[in-house]
Chain A
Amino acid sequence: MDLHLDADDLNACVQCGLCLPHCPTFRVTGDEAMSPRGRIHLMREVQDHDAPLTDEVMESFETCVQCRGCEPACPSGVPYGHLMEQTRETLADAGALTPLWQRLAFKPLASPTLLQTGSSALAIAQRLHLVPKRLGISTELPIRRRPLEASGTDVYFFTGCVMDAWQRDVHRSGIRVVEAAGFGVTPTNELAPCCGALQAHAGLAEDTRSLAKKMMANLEPGRPILVDSAGCGAAMKDYGHLLGTPEALAFSERVFDIQEWLAGHMDRLPVAEPLDLRVAIQDPCHLRHVQRVHDATRTVLRPYVRELVELDDEGLCCGAGGAYSVLQPDLAGQIRDRKVASIERSTPDIVASANPGCSMHLAGAGVPTVHPMELVDRALGRADTAP
């Protein structure tokens, strides 16, 4: 079957295997079918040799976290993320992947009212202990949320879908920090209800394209767009590739991860007494392997905490992977166990993670996790604002 994969992209893989240890699913299984090299080989077998889509082949594709840890490890520059997204799109279009119930589950993401109502219902259900554990919702969801107000027009602040419904306080921290640097902020709210990352991962790229077009039409040109969720930022920086238009490319170029952007404006951030904490940095995959701006997290945090520590697992995925922890709970759990062990070895007081999915997934294992912006906000809360 033609998976519509670019032949040159596919052939760029020389089967050297250097990516294997950077793949979370290979790490926990030792199974070639759960490795990037294995998955690429199977894509080739399906596309070039018409191999049947057996359950095992599908399983190999479906168990990929799409963390893209294999990409920076690959000396041949295989664009693995795009290969897997295209594979999933073709298979979803053909009806072989992402069943109807999953497609329906993604629908409310694009609709703020539906999502907010649903989330409040979920929050109440949570209080009544009606939410199954396997959903992995470990933090207490808010029942009511105060709206985010605009303070100016220097930058957009992307609020998005699930994160806005579940972790609006993180947005609030991020906005306060950007404002502390002297910028007026416009939260995107209903102008940009959802980035479409989860849909693209599930092979529903058409949905992502329409969300991307809507967002591009609603946001005024020129203004930087700051994003505090690594997964959303990565998806929005990929609009250029996804839509292939000059407008989309220009749009992607003004998308910044919030840490990335602040790292370029450190001189404008007030000086403050560092928090007395030893903080371990957990780099979200889509910040480290896809956007590759994870150094910025360190730059921004360093002045505001007593000590930063690195984990010893070279940025191996934590297993959250958007909806992955719900769809593949066993593997996600095993992958998380490795991450938790690495965190324990680094003996931090707290873990900073710049992605809502990762922090919820880690919190589910009892790891105290915050967004880096929450720490900076906390430090600035008692900041001496006079320079």
Chain B
Amino acid sequence: MSILDRLRGGRTAHDVDPLLVELQAALTPERVKMDSAQRSLLGKDASMFEGGVSGPICYPTSTDEVVAIAKIAERHGRAIVPRGAGTGLAGGAIPLGAPVVVAMTKMNAILEIDEENGIAWVEPGVINLDLTRHLTPRGFHYAPDPSSQQVCTIGGNVANNSGGPHCLAYGVTNPHIAALEVVTATGEVLLLGGLDAEPDGYDLRGVFVGSEGTLGITTKIAVRLTKNRPGVRTLLLSFATIRDAANTVSAVIAAGIVPAAMEVMDQKITRAVEHYVHAGYPIDAGAVLLAEVDGAEAGVDIDADRIRELGIANNATEVRLAADETERALLWKGRKTAFGAIAQIAPDYYLHDTVVPRSKLADVLDQIYEIADRHDVLVMNVLHAGDGNLHPLLIFDGREDGVMERIQAAGEEIITASLAAGGVLSGEHGIGVEKQPFMDQLFTSDDLDHQNRLRRAFDPTCRANPGKVLPMGHSCADIQQLRSVPTGVWG
């Protein structure tokens, strides 16, 4: 045996698996993978969850191929798990129990743009920002803009009903989806919703949006286009305390202004971001508020002035208006890369995503700092303040002894505090595997049973992304069992 052979492990050997053979015959051998490297990679997404074990990984290029995958998986009694860009933060795309993973990245064509009716048909693997870039020269954009928009897919956005800074005025993903082509776990193709403004019958499209892959795989999506607004003003307000920033947000909404976006960042996160983008964020401020108004040229200056006044009335220490598009883009780049920028401080983070009534923002924030302090963990806060959507980031180094327990305990208290303030579990990242244990706190047992029945109507055999969203006992699959499948990925 040469040195090379000894070092290089060779191609992954696996017994000829009939499931794999059939999948490869239905797609092509290159587009169905089963090697240890691939399985290890697709066992993860952007969340902290580590227990994923994937089966064969398929890269379909058409609806027909997705149907074929679903039928083959059914014959072999295996589940299917759709995956977009793998930026989910709640573990939605994590494969449990060695299912067939259906990676949608190769189905990334923009199929048709109908400017007259304001609709575009796209494949699910289209990247959110690519769609907007494609539309911009035509005077349109796709409004939901998650901070991960440069990479996340429209299919993933639909599955998680994702939001973004500009969803304050425009709404999250749901209202921007007109119709969906869906392949169920049994291989049936459905068309949900329609291009009419008010399609007749039950809104099954709305049921699918936010279903996190548990009702099937969407293979074609009709999104609504939003016209670009002529005027935009972006303000950066600095405050000594995050409470002042939160109060300004409430004051702006109370004054009847509907800004396109209102985002708050606390001091620590502002510093991390500034270090990365050099956009001139004030690193001495206790918190900053990034507010944007858009609309007709004449109106935006009036709104911007009123936000400035309200900020000053709430003790703003500085108010800056972005001078041009470059400055505006830089400020947004800072906000949108906030989650990544924290790695300059410590290698791991646990991001929460609760929503509380806007009037309780300042109080809940105080509680969060107190909880973090008590558990001796570092917390930073970024919030879609206009919606009351909190994103407390717990930052740590996973290599430190006992740190996971403290992070877990602090996280649970933060969620409980948010729920106690009348909030909900997830603003936009979804339930996935991460928030499941808390579903019991939010819903009654009856509620959960009904949800499970709805799910079963789409997925009678429980093979669409099992083990997600609905907690144990209310879902068709026993999660513990799914998690304990013993295949060592590198084995």
Interface residues of A (CB under 8 A from B): 1, 8, 11-18, 20-21, 30-33, 38, 41-42, 45, 49, 51-58, 60, 73-78, 91, 94-96, 312
Contact = CB atoms under 8 A, between A and B. Distances in A.
B40 A55 contact: no
A27 B38 CA distance: 17
Contacts of A51: 36-37, 40, 490
Nearest to A13: B343
A187 B127 CA distance: 47
A339 to B, nearest CB: 16
Given A20-B85, A31-B59, A49-B490, 9 more contacts: A15-B44, A15-B46, A16-B340, A21-B151, A33-B37, A53-B7, A55-B10, A55-B11, A77-B276
Nearest to B345: A76
B340 A75 contact: yes
Q: Tell which of B10, B46, B85 has the most Cβ of chain A within 10 Å.
A: B85
A359 B397 CA distance: 45
Nearest to A12: B343
Interface string B15-41: 000000000000000000001111011
Interface string B329-346: 000000001111111100
Contacts of B349: 14
A75 B8 CA distance: 33
A99 to B, nearest CB: 8
A95 B344 CA distance: 35
A30 B103 contact: yes
A52 B491 CA distance: 10
A225 B368 CA distance: 55
Given A30-B103, A30-B105, A31-B59, A57 B37 contact: yes
B400 to A, nearest CB: 12
B205 interface: no
B286 interface: no
Contacts of B347: 8, 11-12, 14
B179 to A, nearest CB: 24
B42 A32 contact: yes
A294 to B, nearest CB: 16
Contacts of B1: none
A42 B41 contact: yes
Q: Tell which of A17, A30, A75, A77 has the most Cβ of chain B within 10 Å.
A: A75
A17 B490 CA distance: 23
A42 B42 CA distance: 12
B12 interface: yes
A161 to B, nearest CB: 28
A77 B343 contact: yes
21 contacts: A12-B344, A14-B340, A14-B349, A16-B339, A30-B105, A30-B125, A31-B59, A42-B40, A49-B490, A52-B490, A53-B9, A54-B10, A56-B11, A57-B9, A57-B37, A60-B37, A75-B339, A75-B341, A76-B344, A91-B7, A94-B7
B343 A75 contact: yes
B461 to A, nearest CB: 28
Q: Which 6 A/B pairs are nearest by Cβ-Cβ distance?
A: A30-B105, A75-B340, A76-B343, A52-B9, A75-B337, A11-B347
A7 to B, nearest CB: 9
Contacts of B59: 30-31
Contacts of A78: 343
Nearest to B343: A76
Given A54-B10, A74-B340, A76-B341, A17 B36 contact: no
Contacts of A1: 7
A56 B86 CA distance: 20
A95 B106 CA distance: 35
A41 B41 contact: yes
B48 to A, nearest CB: 9
A96 B38 contact: no
A292 B339 CA distance: 24
A40 to B, nearest CB: 10
B309 interface: no
Contacts of B11: 54-56
B36 A54 contact: yes
B87 interface: yes
A345 to B, nearest CB: 10
Contact of A96 (B8, B37, B40, B86): B8
Nearest to B333: A75
A56 B7 contact: no
B213 to A, nearest CB: 17
Given A12-B343, A15-B44, A58 B35 contact: no
B95 to A, nearest CB: 13
A74 B470 CA distance: 34
Contacts of B8: 53-55, 58, 96
A41 B44 CA distance: 10
B108 interface: yes
A348 to B, nearest CB: 17
B151 A17 contact: yes
A43 to B, nearest CB: 11
A305 B367 CA distance: 60
B337 A17 contact: no
Contact of A18 (B40, B42, B133, B151): B151
B150 interface: yes
Contact of B41 (A16, A21, A33, A94): A33
B226 interface: no
Contact of A16 (B38, B46, B129, B397): B46
Given A13-B343, A17-B46, A32 B86 contact: yes
Contact of A56 (B35, B42, B150): B35
Contact of B9 (A13, A14, A42, A55): A55
Contacts of A53: 7-9
B38 to A, nearest CB: 6
A57 B8 CA distance: 9
B3 interface: yes
A32 B397 CA distance: 25
A13 B35 CA distance: 23
A30 B397 CA distance: 30
Contacts of B45: 15
Contacts of A31: 59, 103, 105
B239 to A, nearest CB: 24
A105 B253 CA distance: 68
Contacts of A49: 490
A25 B282 CA distance: 37
Contacts of B338: 75
Contacts of A20: 85, 151
A17 B86 contact: yes
B255 interface: no
A32 B84 CA distance: 11
